[in-house]
Chains A and B, each alone.
Chain A
Amino acid sequence: MNSFFPRRYVIQGIFIAIALVLLLRLFYIQVIDKSYFLSAKDNVLRRIPIFPARGLILDRTGKVLVQNEPVYDLMVIPNEVKPFDTLEFCGLIGINKEDFDKKFKKAIKYSRYTSSIFEKQLSALTYAAFQEKLYEYPGFYVVNRSVRYYPDSIAAQFLGYIGEVSERDIEKSVGFYRKGDYIGKTGVEKSYEELLRGQRGVQQLMVDAFNRPKGHFADGRYDTIAVSGERLISSLDKDLQKFGEQLMVNKIGSIVAIEPSSGEILTFVSSPSYNPNLMVGRQRGKNYTALNTDPLKPMFIRPIQAEYPPGSIFKVINALLGQQFGSIKADTRFFCGGGYYYGGSRPMKCTHVHGSSDLPRSIQVSCNTYYGNVYAAMIDRSGMRSVNGFKRWREGVAKFGIGSRLDIDLPHERKGLLPTDSLYTKRYRNDKWRSGYNISLSIGQGELGITPLQMANVAATVANRGFFYKPHLVKAIGEKKYIKPEYTKKNYVGVDAKYFEPVIQGMSMVVNQFPGTATYSAIYNIEICGKTGTVQNPHGDDHSVFFAFAPRNNPKIAIAVVVENGGHGSTWAAPIASLLIEKYLTDSTKRDKYYVDRILKGNLLPRPKVAPKPVAPKKPDSSSNKQKQQPAVTANKKR
């Protein structure tokens, strides 16, 4: 012991003070600051998403329309990549050096430390060759994915396609989608996305500092399995669809066939079409651009997006409304001297001089004069002012689903055009106009735009004698075959069943009795009831339109066919419809070969515009392309 003895306390004090500093610091980082805990998880846990198989889409009889095919996405974590033989690598996956540099830079830009897709959708074949060498390329690994495969290459516009999610999709999904995920872009793939996509699973793997897997975190207690997407049973009849598409080759137009007793869509043809397999795989981008710039617009979903004035098929609606409003009766006769005079010197011309007709005959021969009179009776001689008569008429038409969306289970449906009275009041600067001012409405011309789907729906309504089920493309969902309740609800159109009989009589005579307009399309043992339409087209040949249902009693199919530039309804649209009806009802075609061949080989494409394929390159601007309608349609709206 010496004089410096008290200094022991200074030294011990320093020791204790330092220990307290250490403990405080430890307390802070271990107990108070939680960020280290999270960082530790980041270090060790790798959340490996398990991609569920996307739901299959079947046709109404259970045949596969869309299935999945395995592909392999090549992923990269730039930070872990070690120098390697780039040339060999490029050779294996089939890209060149520039592509490689570009892709690698892109990956680095995304993140150095987390993985991103380097090359998408290697085929099973490419992968097999690549897999053996994969160990030579640290930082690269492969993730299984599945892509869509369409065994019959049909119904492209109906099925739609899937594509990588956009930034907006990711934002909207609130965390469901991640970069590189696939999402339905159009068609059923889009409208049933949430059912088809299934539930993604996650494996929480632990890795060490060198990213070597060390097994499942907590023995897999927090792992979730992927749940496959629901299976959709579509309403489509695969064989009928295929036949319809064959018949429409080299023609522009649509076919929509509906089962009247359910609203299920049997056929949904949009022509020209494309092979849906083009929208899959590594060439997708190229194919997409080509399709998008094609002047015939194969991506345009004509059955729900093309609007035409319906032409003479609209007479069916006017005949029904005329009776319902009490303006005419089934035996009301009007005289046709070759035209309807509605003021001024020029008549609304009729195709023939029909003489005196009653209602069924007026439909059979499609007499314009008769419907000029019916329309005038409804609008001008209704006991109210013409403008109010028109309002009543418009309401009646609207109930048939015209001028509004039918709410089919596909995206991008258009509602068409049904003019309101204010359009004319504005045009004629007062509301004292009369039926003569818009007389073309009586024969389905003028300011009318109706989609092929709406046409088919009217046919189904007539077949049902007064109501329709919402047309839809998916009849049942999943294993339990769930059916949406809205699809079992009857929508009445406000016309009594009794008024349908004379009209149906007329429609039957159109096909089955001389001088009906579509007797060429009659089938020996099936009573088809239909109506032709020839839609005036100021830009070229008239559009050929036909809608029908069959058989007359207890109808099984209602159909609408539009063939652009096909001329008279009886030349193209009616035979096509009749062939499809026969095929659907008897499962075969007993017609002569020349009858079918004429249609199969018929080419109605606008020749001068299409012949030289590499025309001046169109702007690959998809939005403007989609907005634009066919020339005929826009033009008709203006009339």
Chain B
Amino acid sequence: MINQRSLFFNIDWIIIFIYITLCVIGWFNIHAAVYDPQNPSIVDLDTNYGKQLLFIVTALILGAVILLLDNKFFNAFSPIFYGVTLILLVVVLFVGRNVGGNQAWIPIGSFRLQPSEFAKFSSCLLLAKYLSSTNLKLQDFQTLIVCTLILVIPMALIMLQPDTGSALTFTSLVFVLYREGLSGYTLVIGALFIALFVLTLLFNTWAVTGILVAIAAVLIASNKKNRSFITTIAIGTAISVVFIFCVDFAYDSILQSHQRNRIDVILGKINDPRGEGYNLNQSKIAIGSGGLWGKGYLQGTQTKYDFVPEQSTDFIFCTVGEEWGFAGSFVVVTLYVTLLIRIINLAERQRSSFTRIYGYGVASILFFHFFVNIGMTIGLVPVIGIPLPFISYGGSSLISFTILLFIFLKLDSNRMGVI
């Protein structure tokens, strides 16, 4: 029996390999991003790359510990994790350290804990536990409400910090809900709303409304007999129009000015490479100047000389793009996609729906970070301050992503066991 074999053989080594590769890529690029020729030492705990090495070691130990824990531990303790996370998220609002405008850090000794990072996997765990309980159907309104609450409560607390980027991460879990039976229209409607959002910001509110109503009128006129169709279209149009005006209002009144500006930069409404668009412009210059093969390790000038802000954390991909070129970028993107596909393949081979659902959660969260982070550095997505998993500098993010991934590895290694 396979399940009699040791843990060592049940672990998915492909994922471990990709994980370690990404960590190593991250470490080298952090080294390059802050490299100072006057101080070329590799291991120096005063530097970001020195610390990151420490974080990687810590993360690996933590990963090993997780693999050794009992399988039921995560399922059983998920409500407790969730509760503790919520408490931390509340606590951070009062005792937190304010870094860069976000009240996101709880200082513990010389370390700083970022509860929002841990909210990601604890929410995933609870969502998996809840959805895997028997006799639940996502089509049920009540189930949907509970799922939404599980996600919205930490989201709302994170928004209070305010850390919009981390909060938005939770929206990616819609993939989990979709996989577990949420109507496929949800994704389509979601996409439509995003399109509508962009259109509203790009063009005049009234013009977008007018065009929408016109399309609805044509659709209705072409299919007069079908009453339910007409009703659907009418309601859809009404909701859309309300949405448009909500967007308009939210954009002007709720979003903070720097967020508005970031969106405007992406939409091309602001062209100010020295001001609002500085980060994005410099980031694109760094990546774009890499060419096909890159400038070579430690040869990047844009990141090393501080043209790109946050060059070792949120904008670490600039170093990849600049020093390793399109070839390097291709490798990194491919690694991520392989990892995501692999996670989903593993998730689908589970007998336990808890593991499967959790696996989808892991994939969704990683995907969101991967897409938004790289997308923002090349101007496809507004600048949202979230890290690139396993590569960006930062202890909290590395450790929380490691926990997120290794819990899944642990659960997967036990796939043949008793549910």
Contacts and interface: CB of A to CB of B under 8 A. Distances in A.
Contacts of B277: none
Nearest to A25: B378
Contacts of A345: none
A18 B288 contact: no
A426 interface: no
Contact of B286 (A15, A40, A113): A40
Contacts of A12: 340-341, 344
A36 B284 contact: yes
A31 B290 CA distance: 8
Nearest to B305: A208
Contacts of B326: 26-27, 30-31
Interface residues of A, number: 39
Interface stretch (A3-11, A132-140, A325-333, A484-492): A3-11
A17 to B, nearest CB: 10
Given A18-B371, A39-B285, A43-B302, A4 B348 contact: no
B222 to A, nearest CB: 29
Contacts of B282: 43
B301 A29 contact: no
A15 B368 CA distance: 10
A4 B176 CA distance: 11
Contacts of B375: 22
A19 B292 contact: no
A30 B321 contact: yes
B302 A26 contact: no
B380 interface: yes
A23 interface: yes
A35 interface: yes
B179 A19 contact: no
Interface in B1-15: none
A210 B304 CA distance: 12
B90 interface: no
Contacts of A208: 304-307
B178 interface: yes
Interface in B197-251: none
Given A22-B374, A26-B378, A40-B285, A11 B175 contact: yes
A10 B292 CA distance: 31
A1 to B, nearest CB: 7
A206 B305 contact: yes
B305 A8 contact: no
A4 B305 contact: no
A33 B341 contact: no
A30 B285 contact: no
Contact of B337 (A11, A19, A36, A113): A19
Interface in A459-487: none
Given A25-B378, A26-B330, A210-B306, A36 B289 contact: yes
B274 to A, nearest CB: 8
Nearest to B367: A15
B362 to A, nearest CB: 13
A494 B80 CA distance: 119
Contacts of A209: 305-307
Given A7-B178, A208-B305, A26 B333 contact: yes
Interface string B286-297: 111111100000
A514 interface: no
Determine chain A's interface SS by DSSP, over half rule.
Answer: helix
Given A4-B179, A15-B337, A207-B305, A22 B371 contact: yes
Contacts, number: 122
Given A16-B337, A19-B336, A22-B371, A43 B307 contact: yes
Interface in B359-391: 360, 363, 367, 371, 374-375, 378-380
Contact of B285 (A5, A11, A25, A43): A43
A214 B35 CA distance: 13
B181 interface: yes
A44 interface: yes
Interface in B243-293: 274, 281-282, 284-292
Given A8-B348, A19-B333, A210-B306, A26 B287 contact: yes
Contact of B291 (A7, A21, A30, A206): A30
B180 interface: yes
B341 A36 contact: no
A11 B344 contact: yes
B287 A30 contact: yes
A10 B360 CA distance: 13
A37 interface: yes
Nearest to A7: B179
Given A22-B380, A30-B288, A8 B179 contact: yes
A37 B289 contact: yes
A23 B305 contact: no
B313 interface: no
A36 to B, nearest CB: 2
B289 A40 contact: yes
Contact of A23 (B290, B304, B307, B333): B333
A70 B378 CA distance: 49
A36 B292 CA distance: 13
B337 A33 contact: no
Nearest to A3: B181
Contacts of B78: none
B179 A29 contact: no
B287 A15 contact: no
B325 interface: yes
A7 B356 CA distance: 13
Nearest to B330: A23
A8 B289 contact: no
Interface string A545-570: 00000000000000000000000000
Interface string B164-186: 00000000000100111100100
Contacts of A22: 333, 371, 374-375, 378, 380
B26 to A, nearest CB: 18
A113 to B, nearest CB: 8
Contacts of B114: none
Contacts of B353: 2
Contacts of B344: 8, 11-12, 15
B277 to A, nearest CB: 13
B394 to A, nearest CB: 22
A44 B305 contact: yes
Contacts of A30: 287-288, 290-292, 321, 325-326, 329
Residue picked from B285, B306, B322, B334, most chain A C-beta under 10 Å: B285
A36 B353 CA distance: 48
A413 B117 CA distance: 83
A26 B288 CA distance: 8
Contacts of A16: 337, 341
Contacts of A39: 281, 285, 288-289
Residue picked from B288, B337, B340, B371, most chain A C-beta under 10 Å: B288
A39 B281 CA distance: 10
A4 B179 CA distance: 6
17 contacts: A4-B180, A4-B181, A12-B341, A16-B337, A21-B380, A23-B333, A26-B330, A30-B325, A30-B329, A31-B291, A31-B292, A33-B288, A35-B288, A36-B284, A40-B286, A206-B301, A207-B305
Interface of A: 1-2, 4-5, 7-8, 10-12, 14-16, 18-19, 21-23, 25-27, 29-31, 33, 35-37, 39-41, 43-44, 113, 206-210, 214
Given A36-B288, A43-B285, 19 more contacts: A1-B348, A8-B344, A10-B187, A11-B360, A22-B333, A22-B371, A22-B375, A23-B329, A26-B330, A29-B287, A30-B290, A30-B321, A37-B291, A39-B285, A40-B289, A40-B301, A43-B307, A207-B305, A208-B305
4 closest cross-chain pairs (CB), A and B? A36-B288, A40-B289, A208-B305, A29-B288
